[in-house]
Amino acid sequence: MKKNLHPDNYRLVVFRDMSNGTSFLTRSSANSRETVKWEDGNDYPLIKLEISNTSHPFFTGKNMLVDTAGRIDKFKKRYEKKS
| Angstrom distance (rounded) from CA 36 to CA 56 | 24
Residue 19 is assigned to a structural domain of this protein: yes
Q: How many domains does the chain have?
A: 1
Residue 5 is assigned to a structural domain of this protein: no
| Angstrom distance (rounded) from CA 56 to CA 19 | 10
| Angstrom distance (rounded) from CA 27 to CA 13 | 6
> Could you tell me the residue range of the domain that residue 30 belongs to?
11-80
| Angstrom distance (rounded) from CA 24 to CA 17 | 9
Q: Tell me what percent of the residues of the chain surpass a pLDDT of 70.
A: 80
Residue 6 is assigned to a structural domain of this protein: no
Residue 4 is assigned to a structural domain of this protein: no
pLDDT attached to residue 58: 63
Pairing of strands 43-49, 11-17: parallel
pLDDT in tens, 18-48: 888 889 999 999 999 999 999 999 999 999 9
Full-prediction pTM beyond 0.75? no
